[in-house]
Amino acid sequence: MCISDFAKRCAASLAIGVVVSLAAGCVTVRPEQRAILADPVMQFQGDPREAAQRQHVLENREGSFGGSSVQGGGCGCN
Amino acid sequence: MRPSPDSRFAAGLRRSGSNLSASGRGFLWLVLVTAALLWPIAAAAQAAELDTRVTFFHEPAKGSTMTVYTPSTDLTVRPWDFLTVTGGWEADIVSGASERVKTGPLSRSGPDTITGASVKDFRNIGRGSVAVRHDVVELRAGGSVSVENDYKSNSFNGSARTDLFQHSTQLEIAYARNWDTVCDLAHTANTDATLRQPLDNSTGCFQPNSTTRSEAPIRTDAFQLTWSQAWTPVLTTQVVYTGQLQHGLLSDPYRAVSLSPGGQYAQEHHPENRARQAVALRGAYYIRPLKGAVRAGVRGYRDTWDIYSATFELEAEKYIFPWLRLRGTGRYYRQTEALFWSDDYTGGEPEHGPRGQYWSGDRELSPFSSYLVGLRAVGTWSAGERRIVGIFEGLQAGVGADMLFYSYSDFTLGGRPPEDTTAYIGSLSFTALF
């Protein structure tokens, strides 16, 4: 039963992923339209090194992890 | 990435030695050799970037103030268009005080068992990476070595990224492996976990002939998939999945938990395995009239210790002048407790699931929420036909400040609410392009 539920959820997630990926293929932003997308204010992590140092501080105070970088290197757990 | 990192309690009694250890000397040589190798490449490179910065963390509290400086320097060179080489150094300089033994409100010994102790530590990290780009594909490999008094870490990471559909879609797969070693007290063989005492200080750690210290391995494998998508010229999104497996001594050897009303305490005891996963969804939208962008993100997390968490982030960044931009950040975080976590193991029925095989009083594993507010200003100057001061093709300087507020629903120190629930983060950065 559990395996069946898990398989259904996996299949549903896969189907959603495929549909969204296909939709992404239909949407292209031409190179001459990409000036704003390349602007620093449109970067998800802003300054990646600053974001990494802040993330290091936050993760040392929280029980969770992930969603940004997996470059490794420990511990500095203060 | 030691997973039980509350030094306010646990890293407590570390004291840095005045003599450089053998591993410290090896690390210093590694940094010097890397710098010597990178410098001639930088001199001949088409472009080189020198980034130096410092982050300041301060957590004031009566008896357990913690201050951490994190300076870093990275040199990135591009000898050819297809090749990028980066080498860098970072440190954590820690000073403050922390509590040692966690008690709860039921313990008769109460707060008296919480003893403050001075903390000093100095972690050095050397890191480097090589990235090769051809057409729409970029391959990157890197590694790091870090050394501190009671913890050593070696890591390798690799990633592959490709662009699709006229660069509108970007897919990246990344992997990282850590080989870490943590110092522990040399427990007598077969000592029951309830009788194990915490490590009191780092003296003797990683000394080959030490009879009072032992070494415990931690292995970490992390895997990440990232899909970034540009939908319109002003809208882009990103989905990130991260999985991580940890195995080894995942508790903090300095940390102890009171286990009986009489005050008997033992080194905290966590499961040796932990599987963690997170999914993050982000979006960025440019608002032309404001000459700025808003970014929003949400992250869900769960692990096999039964911790669930959610993170919400909102940022706005806009140009004040063509060379100056200002960013405001807001972040809210909330998590549940680990299955075996308790504020008090000394009596009564557990409020949150089974316990007994493992015990932990870590506030990081307790149920809590936090929010962060911050501001950051970044100035950027590009050279025109003539280089800035005859040397630089570009300069960038940044300054930022964040405030963090924690709200602990169950966690106490001997029944008293913790005082160190506010923290300040400051950052300064300077980047030069040659």
> What does each C-alpha distance from B329 to A44, B290, B335 come to in angstroms?
12, 17, 20
Radius of gyration of chain B (CA): 24
Pairing of strands B368-382, B324-335: antiparallel
More confident residue, B345 or B422: B422
CB contact under 8 A, B244 and A66: yes
Nearest to B309 among A43, A63, A69 (CB): A63
Q: Rounded distance, CA B326 to CA B267, Å?
A: 46
Q: How many Cβ pairs closer than 8 A exist between chain A and B?
A: 237
Task: Tell me the chain A residues in contact with residue B370 when contact means C-beta distances shorter than 8 Å.
Answer: 61-62
Nearest alpha carbon to residue A45 among B240, B321, B135: B240
pLDDT digits (tens, 9 = 90+) for B365-411: 999 999 999 999 999 998 877 888 878 889 999 999 999 999 999 88
CB contact under 8 A, B153 and A75: yes
CB contact under 8 A, B125 and A37: no
> DSSP assignment, residue B269?
B
Ordered structural domains, chain B, with CATH: 22-433 (2.40.160)
Q: Rounded distance, CA B366 to CA B83, Å?
A: 45
Q: Rounded distance, CA B396 to CA B382, Å?
A: 9
Question: Residue B223's pLDDT band (boundaries 50, 70, 90)?
Answer: very high
Nearest alpha carbon to residue B207 among B250, B267, B124, B150: B150
Is the confidence at residue B196, as pLDDT, over 70?
yes
Chain A residues 41-70 within an 8 A CB cutoff of chain B: 41-44, 46-47, 49-50, 53-54, 56-70
Show Cβ contacts of residue B276 under 8 Å, excluding neighbours closer than 6 positions.
A64, A65, A66, B242, B243, B244, B245, B246, B301, B302, B303, B304
Residue B391 in tokens = 């040397």
The reported pLDDT for the residue numbered B424 is 96
Is the confidence at residue B271, as pLDDT, over 90?
yes
Nearest to A29 among B146, B233, B370 (CB): B233
Is the confidence at residue B5, as pLDDT, over 60?
no
Place of tokens 């239909």: A26
> Cα(first)–Cα(last) distance of chain A, in Å?
45
Place of tokens 């203060």: A78
pLDDT digits (tens, 9 = 90+) for B228-237: 999 999 999 9
The reported pLDDT for the residue numbered B272 is 93
Task: Tell me the chain A residues in contact with residue B271 when contact means C-beta distances shorter than 8 Å.
Answer: none
Beta bridge partners of B5: none
Question: Please, what is the average pLDDT of chain B?
Answer: 85
The reported pLDDT for the residue numbered B264 is 82
Mapped onto helix, strand or coil, the DSSP state of residue A6 is helix
Residue A38 forms contact with B (CB below 8 Å): no
Task: Tell me the chain B residues in contact with residue A63 when contact means C-beta distances shorter than 8 Å.
Answer: 303, 305, 307, 309, 335, 338, 364-365
Q: What is the ipTM of this complex?
A: 0.81
pLDDT digits (tens, 9 = 90+) for B304-329: 999 999 999 999 999 999 999 999 99
Q: Rounded distance, CA B172 to CA B226, Å?
A: 5
The reported pLDDT for the residue numbered B143 is 95
Residue B92 in tokens = 């954590």
Residue B220 in tokens = 């970490």
The reported pLDDT for the residue numbered B301 is 96
Q: Determine how many CB atoms are found less than 10 A away from the CB of residue B356.
A: 10
Most confident of A71-75, B283-287, B413-417: B283-287
Q: Determine how many CB atoms are found less than 10 A away from the CB of residue B19.
A: 6
Strands of the sheet with B256-258, listed across from one edge: B101-102, B256-258, B265-267
Report pTM.
0.85
Q: Provide the shortest C-alpha distance from residue B102 to chain A (in Å).
A: 16
Question: Residue B121's pLDDT band (boundaries 50, 70, 90)?
Answer: confident
Nearest alpha carbon to residue B90 among B157, B147, B33, B154: B147
Q: Rounded distance, CA B111 to CA B105, Å?
A: 9
